[in-house]
Amino acid sequence: MSQADNEGDGDGTRLNEMESRSTSTQNAHRSALAKWNDFATVQGYPMFPDLKEEFVCGKVLENGSLSNPNDPPLRKFMAEFANYLLTYQKKGAVKKGESKYYKPDVIKQHFTTMKSVMFKKYKPLGFMGKDPDWYTDLLSSLKVRSSTNAIARGEIVSKKAVGVTRDATVACGDFLMRQLENDEALGYEERCIITTLFSCCRSWRRSINSNLG
């Protein structure tokens, strides 16, 4: 196969990846807009296609900036939208072991996607930057609340790490301490780190359980 053929295959692969990402983005936008319109209906607000610039941005100055960039009307609506996502319960049958509430990553996706859609449609919102302080504050609070709520319900918040059992921790400590058989000062520091982390995690878990109880 020629180099040109190889390059062509690479271009085709990249094109497929771009199309896949594009489809995923479009689906995320549609889902977020649908959730916003549900929220708007509940709150008695205009649905997304019927929103007006003044309703979202407030007064806009001649230079295209917001008269109140630290507290535009959208800040209040996004705060209410965040609370709606946190408390929304899925409709229809829920599979066994599945929560009726949205997972933290789903809540974050709906929230950040809706923010992007709003900023793209209403340019004055991004006059001072794409991530104003009021938005980052809301997003940070949303992340904490969604994770805390999930933990309180006994749900798994992250799949990035696999838990280590107590027996596995003991076995690691025994192995490290056996390195001393050759009169070499090996294993002390590593064993100390592992046991300290294990103890900290147990203390943190007890604290969480007591607070929730």
Q: What is the per-residue pLDDT across 176-196, written as a single tens digit (0 to 9) for each?
A: 666 655 555 555 666 677 677
> pTM, whole model, 2 decimals?
0.64
Alpha-carbon distance of 31 to 88, in angstroms, equals: 14
pLDDT at res. 184: 54
pLDDT at res. 8: 45
Alpha-carbon distance of 145 to 151, in angstroms, equals: 10
pLDDT at res. 155: 80
Q: In the chain, where are the structural domains located?
A: 35-152, 166-212
Q: Which residues of the chain have pLDDT under 70?
A: 1-22, 92-97, 158-166, 169, 172-173, 175-191, 194, 198, 200-213
Which secondary structure element, helix H or strand E, spans residue 92, and what is its range? none
What's the token pair of residue 202?
Answer: 């147990």
Q: Please give the span between the terminal C-alpha atoms of the chain, in angstroms, as a whole number.
A: 67
Q: What is the per-residue pLDDT across 119-158, written as a single tens digit (0 to 9) for each?
A: 999 999 988 788 999 999 999 999 989 988 888 888 877 6
What's the token pair of residue 154?
Answer: 């006994």
pLDDT at res. 13: 52
pLDDT at res. 97: 62
pLDDT at res. 138: 93
Nearest Cα neighbor of 65 from 160, 132, 158 is 132
Alpha-carbon distance of 96 to 78, in angstroms, equals: 32
Q: Helix 73-87 to helix 133-152 angle, to the nearest 10 degrees?
A: 10
